[in-house]
């Protein structure tokens, strides 16, 4: 899934002026990419929906702090990222375990056996991905799934670009080792 290009003309100026139609356009544009990103970090359907909603509420409240309208997408993902980090920290303090929600198969995706194989492969990959620390997992998702640049990821995660590059390098290396380790079994 690819996030809207930052150069695309979005009604950010109108949203800043409080126009509901502009916020509706921005919500429709970013709702799904944000949900996918958040879900891959928190692995909880309802929590992901709540975090996306909280992200947009925070965006409405703090749009005045956005310096460059053209960077709305990375700014919004930055808010979502911080919301995920806050939730993760709260969970670690409370030591709450998350139950994975089983996905129901979509009949339009092909033959049941093909779907089952694909789901098993995706589940296996996600299981491996989940073994990475949250900062590395976030960088991988932002870079490879959401197609953000290193500089945009740095803004989203509030870390220097060099740290993003380092996390990306070590995440890819760790992921490769984990996948090779699972292939040996």
Looking at 96, 126, 151, which one is the last position of a domain? 96
Question: Rounded to whole angstroms, how far apart are CA atoms 162 and 145?
Answer: 20
Residue 103 lies in a domain: no
Residue at 106 is within a domain: no
pLDDT single digits (tens) 80-114:
998 988 887 777 665 434 344 344 444 444 555 56
pLDDT of 25 reads 93
What is the domain-level CATH number for residue 117?
Answer: 1.10.10.10
Q: What does pTM read for this prediction?
A: 0.62
Mean pLDDT of 1-28: 78
Task: Read off the pLDDT of residues 17-30 as tens digits, 9 standing for 90 and up.
Answer: 889 999 999 999 99
Query: In 12-44, where does DSSP find H-type helix?
Result: 12-16, 20-42
Write the CA distances from 29 to 4, 5, 8, 23, 49, integer angstroms. 7, 11, 11, 10, 15
Task: Say whether pLDDT at 115 is over 60.
Answer: no
Are 22 and 85 in the same domain? yes
Q: Structural domain tally of the chain?
A: 2
The reply to whether 104 falls in a domain is no
Domain that holds residue 168: 111-185
Q: Please tell me whether residues 115 and 92 are part of one structural domain.
A: no
């Amino acid at each position: 899934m690819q996030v809207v290009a930052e150069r695309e003309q979005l009604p950010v100026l109108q949203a800043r002026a409080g126009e509901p139609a502009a916020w509706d356009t921005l919500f429709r544009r970013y709702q799904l990419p944000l949900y996918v990103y958040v879900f891959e970090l928190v692995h909880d359907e309802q929590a992901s929906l709540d975090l996306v909603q909280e992200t947009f509420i925070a965006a409405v409240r703090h749009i005045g702090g956005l310096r460059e309208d053209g960077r709305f997408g990375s700014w919004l993902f930055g808010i979502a990222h911080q919301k995920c980090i806050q939730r993760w920290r709260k969970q670690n303090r409370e030591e709450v375990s998350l139950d994975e929600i089983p996905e129901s198969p979509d009949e339009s995706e092909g033959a049941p056996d093909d779907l089952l194989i694909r789901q098993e492969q995706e589940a296996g990959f996600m299981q491996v991905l989940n073994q990475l620390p949250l900062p590395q997992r976030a960088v991988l998702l932002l870079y490879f799934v959401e197609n953000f640049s290193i500089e945009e990821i740095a803004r989203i995660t509030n870390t220097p670009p060099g740290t993003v590059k380092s996390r990306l390098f070590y995440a890819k290396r760790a992921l490769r080792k984990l996948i090779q380790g699972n292939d040996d079994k």
